[in-house]
Structure 1
Amino acid sequence: MNKRFFLSEPHMSGNELKYIEKVFQSNYIAPLGEHVNKFEESIKDYAGAKNALAVISGTAAIHLALRVLGIGQDDDVLASTFTFIGSVNAILYQGANPVFIDSDKKSWNLSSKLLNKYLCECDKKPKALIVTHLYGQCADIEKIADICALHGVYLIEDAAESLGAVFNGKHTGTFGDFGIYSFNGNKILTTSGGGMLVSSNKEWIDKAKFYCTQAKEPFVHYEHLEYGYNYRMSNVLAAIGVAQMEVIEERVAKKREIFEWYREFLGDVKEITFMPELENSRGNRWLTAMIFAKSDYNKIMKALEEVNVESRPLWKPMHMQPLFSDAKSVVDGTSEELFNKGLCVASSTTMMKDDVKMICDVIKENICGTGGRT
């Protein structure tokens, strides 16, 4: 049996244990310490964010953004429908109503055309939009930001999957009022679990910091006028993040190389279409994603599992989830088609070219029984 090939496994830089040892020597295990500050500074320096706040997850970061922006009971919040539920759970935490917007074919991300159409025609103006940069590929973010500004809608970028992705030379997460990153175990960088909230507005980040540390007022004793959360990242996890950030460009380059290997070995398979990349953008290709015109991806998944290779269907759109059966949505069938035909394949940065070739051979063997040429 082959070794297990995961979708995206953790890949350490080599300095994590050294920095964790420094944390233990200092005895600043939690909640804070110098590595939390260093991790925040590394994100600011790399992504060009003016302010950053290290928290326990990307979902917590979104929650804080909504709270700071005053999103509350029965407010409408727009969101990408083609995404992971972590992108939208925080809308429910605030008692607000999600309104889902479908994807476009040119990016698989939120459609600026459908977004603009809804905002021009809706009776109740949404307070905010949470746009996901799916699988590390940029949404049409400049156009989306312009539409939000025109209609007075706050923009939150869910860049959980897209650290290292840039649009016209600017990093995802820095176009909107808030941006968030995730450092979950399967992301391009990991702290085992963790997230980052960024914004150009220092007052907002300061307020988010207040909320994420139990909303303690500035007294010697514990005084509370508002409720808060235990959302701050620990110094231990931040130390891992500092080491991971030292290799971010290497990881982006390797993810993109893996994608090119898949395209090289499957380029002659006419029924396969890979996730596109917008002009003037560089995605991080967190996961290599593809759709099959005719083949059943379940058969391909089963064949890959037999050789110990992880794969997964593309995200099931949020408007199709039973949890959101009563939610508003603006859809044209794009995300449903992607879900019905698409697959993410193993994309770990520890993989070599021969590993990708083996996976591609299995895919070809299981496409319409033709060896892949259709």
Structure 2
Amino acid sequence: MTDPVLLSPPDVGPLEESYVLDALRSGWVAPVGPHVAAFEREVAQRVGCGHAVALASGTAGLHLALLALGAGPGDVVVVPTLTFVATANAVRYTGAEPVFVDCEPTTGNLDPALLHDLLRDLRRQGRRVAAVMPVDMFGACADYARILPVCAEAEVAVVEDAAEALGSVRDGRAAGSFGRAGVLSFNGNKIMTTSGGGMLLSDDAELTARCRYLSTQARQPVPYYEHTEVGFNYRLSNVLAALGRAQLRRLDDMVTRRRQLRERYAKLFAAVPGVRLLADQDPGANCWLTTIIVDPVVAGWRAGELAAHLGAHRIETRPVWKPMHLQPVFAGAGARLTGAAERLFADGLNLPSGSAMSEGQVVHVLDRIEDFLSARSERLPLLIEPERFAQAPEKH
């Protein structure tokens, strides 16, 4: 029996081992240390930001950024409904409430066309919008050329959730550099990892200093332990920062590997009716996860059927994020919806995309997909009814 093929496992090797061993031998095992400071400098330089704070998670970065912008009870934060729950949870941590906005059907990113009217309507309701928090979905940057001017006109700060997008570029700028603050994640399944960890980035020195202060239990700069407000234990350890520094040196190669894998998926599905790749027109995406969108009426099969077939062969897949407005924990939250996120959730599937996949594993996945497609092609003409599909009403 072949080993399981995971969706996006860590890609680590001898270089990472040498960096972690150096950290252990240095004696800097507890939080802070020379690797933390160096990691912050190196990531800031890579992204093109003036300041960085290494943290225990990307979620911690979102939380601190919102706090530094003054988010609190009575405020709202605009969040894409198609995202991982951490984006919305960070809003609740501050006491503010998320207001969800739908996505572009072609990319899964926040739909800029909805943003202007939403901000206007919230202002008319007397609501203070503490921030707009776009998410760079599956490694493709949101359309900041349209988002940033709308937010600037409304005098609302942007916090970029770039947790999935390190190494991505749009309009000549790196993911993580677009907002008043940007946040990266180095969780175990991300394009590069520190096991668990994240990074807050900003050109705003005052905001960065505030986040750094809050991340260390809000300790006052005196010889003894004094605290005038509540802080958090959010700093990244020196050992994990060492792992991150090694990963950063391999980032370009890992991005290249994922892009090559995406190209092979694209070639496989190019002639399959009713199947497209999400954000397939974005050359700057890091291709953290390759996502297919299946129109079951045209394709004659559903994304879940392919997932079950691959799962039977020990190949891990994952549905697209369940939209936040459908999550029980956020029942009753405000939302501006078109139905796009719900359709992507119903019809989307993330395929194995890890840079550590061996050629044998890649071939195994592609062969099993071909097996599935061949079996379905025999009954495809019975299920496709082009005239009926063209006239079918759009479902929300």
TM-score, length of structure 1 as denominator length: 0.96
Partner of 1:188: 191
Q: CA deviation at 1:125?
A: 4.0
Check 1:284–1:116 CA distance in 2 against 1; reply closer, same or farther (3 A cut): same
Q: Match for 1:137: what amino acid?
A: A
Task: Show the 5 A alignment for 1:1-374.
Answer: 1-122=1-122, 123=125, 124-277=127-280, 282-294=284-296, 295-351=301-357, 352=359, 353-365=362-374, 367=376, 370=379
Conserved 8 A contact 1:365-1:371: no
Shift of residue 16 of structure 1? 1.3
> CA–CA distance in 1 between the matches of 2:93 and 2:103?
25
Distance 1:312 1:368 in 2: 23
Q: 1:204 to 1:183 in 2, by over 3 A?
A: same
Structure 1 range deviating more: 304-313 or 38-47: 38-47
Separation in 2, partners of 1:348, 1:370: 32
What is the aligned-residue identity percentage? 37
| Residue aligned with 1:268, SS | coil
- Cα deviation for residue 324 of structure 1 reads 0.9
Write out per-residue CA displacement over residues 41-67 of structure 1, whole angstroms, 9 at most, x where no aligned residue: 111121111100000000000000011
Worse-matched range after superposition: 234-243 or 351-360: 351-360
Q: Which of the pair is proportionally richer in helix?
A: 2
- 2:211 and 2:197 map into 1 onto residues whose CA distance is 15
* Shift in Å, 1:89: 0.5
| Partner SS state of residue 158, structure 2 | strand
Deviation at 1:98, TM superposition (A): 0.4
Q: Rate the CA distance shift 1:324–1:362 in 2: closer, same or farther, 3 A.
A: farther
> C-alpha displacement at 1:166, in angstroms?
0.6
Change (3 A) 1:367 1:208: farther
Residues 101 and 111, structure 2, Cα contact 8 Å, conserved in 1? yes
Shift of 1:367: 4.2
Contact 2:74 2:128 in 1 (8 A): no
Counting matched residue pairs gives 373
Preserved CA contact (<8 Å) 2:310 2:369: no
Alpha-carbon contact 1:119-1:125 (below 8 Å) kept? no
| Cα deviation, residue 20, structure 1 | 1.4
Residue type matched to 1:293 in 2? D
Give the unaligned 5+ runs of structure 2. Answer: 385-396
8 Å contact from structure 1 (residues 266, 360) kept in 2: no
Verify the 8 A CA contact 1:13 1:247 in the aligned structure 2: no
Equivalent residue letter for 1:217: Q
Structure 1 ranges of 4+ moved more than 6 A: 371-374
Superposition deviation, residue 18 in structure 1:
1.1
Q: Is the 8 A contact 1:7 1:311 kept in 2?
A: yes
Contact 1:78 1:99 in 2 (8 A): yes
Structure 1 position 163, deviation (Å): 0.4
Match of 2:393 in 1: none
Q: Per the alignment, in what secondary structure is the counterpart of residue 134 of structure 2?
A: strand
How far the C-alpha of 1:296 sits from its partner, in A, is 2.3
Q: Any gaps of 5 or more consecutive residues in structure 1?
A: none
The aligned amino acid for 2:265 is: Y
Cα distance in 1 for residues equivalent to 2:350 and 2:207: 36
Task: Report how far residue 355 of structure 1 moved.
Answer: 3.4
Identify if the C-alpha distance between structure 1 residues 367 and 328 changes in structure 2 by more than 3 Å, giving closer, same or farther: farther
Paired amino acid for 2:157 = Y
SS at match of 1:46: helix
Report if the CA contact (8 A) 1:107-1:140 is conserved.
no
Residues 180 and 195 in structure 1, CA contact (< 8 A), matched pair in contact too? yes
Q: What root-mean-square deviation, in Å, do the aligned CA atoms of Structure 1 and Structure 2 show? A: 1.7
Q: Which amino acid aligns with 1:116?
A: H
Contact between 2:315 and 2:365, CA under 8 Å: does it hold in 1? no
Aligned equivalent of 2:388: none
Tell me the CA shift for residue 87 of structure 1: 1.2
Worse-matched range after superposition: 141-150 or 93-102: 141-150
3-state SS, counterpart of residue 11 of structure 2: coil
Distance 1:363 1:145, change over 3 A: farther
Q: Report which of the two structures shows the higher radius of gyration computed on alpha carbons.
A: 2
In the alignment, residue 50 of structure 2 is paired with which amino acid? K
8 A contact 2:269–2:276 mirrored in 1? no
Shift of 1:13: 4.5
TM-score, length-scaled by structure 2:
0.91
